[in-house]
Amino acid sequence: MNIGIFDSGIGGITLLHQALVMLPNEKYIFYADTDNAPYGTKSRDQVIALVDNVMRFMAEHDCKAVVIACNTATAAAAEIMRQKYSIPIIGIEPAVKPAVRESHGKRVLVAATPLTVREEKLKNLVKLVDDAHLVDLLALPKLVEFAERGEFSSAAVEQYLRDAFSFYELAQYGELVLGCTHFNYFKDTFRKILPNDVHMIDGSEGTIRQLVHVLKSRNQLGTDCAAVAKNDTSVRYFSSGRELKEKVELDYVKRLHERLEKMRNL
Ligand code: DGL
């Protein structure tokens, strides 16, 4: 059986990348809903309908678990999908809790999409952990557009982020939460702008840890042998239902994994 991982676009590869490290002996279906990206500037109802389509696809493709590799889709639709589908659904959320814990009293900036920032789910999470009122929320919708056109470290990206951060006294912050999976591609530019002691954190490792826990508890961890891990065909990539087969497309995906690997320890 497969593990399904999906996002509106290439952001979800952040979680796939992490899953391949922590669960190399599995088969994956990666689905980027490219035709409908971005999700973060849509309404809640629009995102629910789109996520429902993807979930149907996953259910038809023999998935034993589905990872919603999109903070926006988790915020808008995870609960509703859990009521509708019997497949376990693990959804990424902004890593607000560990960020507050590790910021040692300094402020925490949570960057996400406009819909994630608007949704009750994030507001409730913040309410739960932010007794000292140290958390600020910032929507960065344009970063998703930059990512989807493969523009990761241009002068325009840097200017966009400098402008967005100009409203904040960055020296007061201890943590920047990357609350959208697309944002991991920009860690080098974030690093350039942020003071050295501001740490970046995202929810991908915790989400895959949760996936491991769910599969273990259901006795469904892959035993497909390490050969699968060495074999590129352990992941099938789909763009809104169309499987990527062309070398040029798969080469691009490979470059995205390489970029994420470079960004990992920044
Ligand atoms: N990557 C997604 C997230 O984590 C959403 C990007 C978008 O489509 O707006 O929220």
| DSSP one-letter string for 172-196 | GEEEEEE-SGGGGGGHHHHHHHS-T
Residue 230: per-residue pLDDT: 52
Q: Tell whether ligand 1 has an atom less than 6 A from the beta carbon of residue 180.
A: yes
Determine the average pLDDT of the residues in 39-60: 98
Q: Residue of the nearest CA to atom 9 in ligand 1?
A: 40
Whether the CB of 14 sits within 6 Å of ligand 1 = no
Task: Record the tokens describing residue 66, joined without a space.
Answer: 């589905």
Q: Is the CB of 38 under 6 A from ligand 1?
A: yes
CA distance 155 to 197: 23
How many angstroms separate the alpha carbon of residue 7 from the centre of ligand 1?
Answer: 7
Check if the beta carbon of residue 259 is closer than 8 Å to that of residue 189: no
CA of 225 to the centre of ligand 1 (A): 33
pTM reported for the whole predicted model: 0.95
Using one digit for the tens of pLDDT, what is the confidence trace for 58-107?
A: 999 999 999 999 999 999 999 999 999 999 999 999 999 999 999 999 99
Question: Where residue 222 falls among pLDDT bands split at 50, 70, 90?
Answer: confident
Q: Label residue 150 left, alpha or beta by phi (over 0 means left) and psi (-120 to 50 means alpha).
A: left
Is the model's pLDDT at 224 over the cut of 90?
no
Classify the phi-psi angles of 133: left when phi > 0, otherwise alpha if psi is within -120 to 50, otherwise beta.
Answer: left
For the chain, where are the alpha helices, taking DSSP H only? 13-22, 44-60, 71-84, 96-102, 114-118, 120-129, 141-148, 155-165, 187-193, 204-217, 226-230, 247-263
Residue 249: predicted pLDDT: 97
Residue 227: what pLDDT? 41
Instruction: Quote the CA–CA distance of 257 and 75 in Å, as a whole number.
Output: 25
Would the CB of 207 count as within 6 Å of ligand 1? no
For ligand 1, mutation pick of 50, 144, 204 (most atoms within 8 Å of CB): 144
> Catalytic amino acids?
70, 180
d(CA 239, CA 216): 29
179 lines ligand 1 (CB under 6 A): no
In the chain, how long is the greatest CA-to-CA distance? 52
Angle at 181 between CA 178 and CA 186, to 5 degrees: 65
Residue 241 — left, alpha, or beta (φ > 0 → left; ψ -120 to 50 → alpha)? left
CA gap 195, 107 in Å, rounded: 13
Mean pLDDT of all residues in 224-242: 72
pLDDT digits 0-9 by tens, 105-163: 999 999 999 999 999 999 999 999 999 999 999 999 999 999 999 999 999 999 999 99
Counting every residue, how long is the chain?
Answer: 266
For residue 111, report the distance from its CA to the centre of ligand 1, in Å: 11
- 157-207 pLDDT per residue, tens: 999 999 999 999 999 999 999 999 999 999 999 999 999 999 999 999 999
Indicate if the alpha-carbon torsion angle 44, 50, 52, 54 is positive or negative. Answer: negative
Ligand 1 center from residue 80 Cα (angstroms):
18
How far does residue 81's CA lie from ligand 1's centre (Å)? 17
Point out the ligand 1 atom lying closest to the alpha carbon of residue 73. 10
- Say which residue the tokens 């669960």 belong to: 23
Please answer whether residues 114 and 141 qualify as being in contact, where contact means their C-beta atoms are separated by less than 8 angstroms: yes
Q: Which atom of ligand 1 is nearest to the CA of 39?
A: 8
In the sheet where 242-243 sits, what is the strand order?
Answer: 89-91, 63-68, 2-7, 27-32, 235-239, 242-243
Joined together, the tokens standing for residue 209 give 């840890």
Q: Give the mutation target among 8, 121, 177 for probing the ligand 1 site: most ligand atoms within 8 A of CB.
A: 8
> From the CB of 177, is ligand 1 less than 6 Å away?
no
Residue-level pLDDT at 46 = 98
Question: Hey, whose CA ends up nearest to atom 2 of ligand 1?
Answer: 70
Q: Which two tokens stand for residue 100?
A: 């507050």
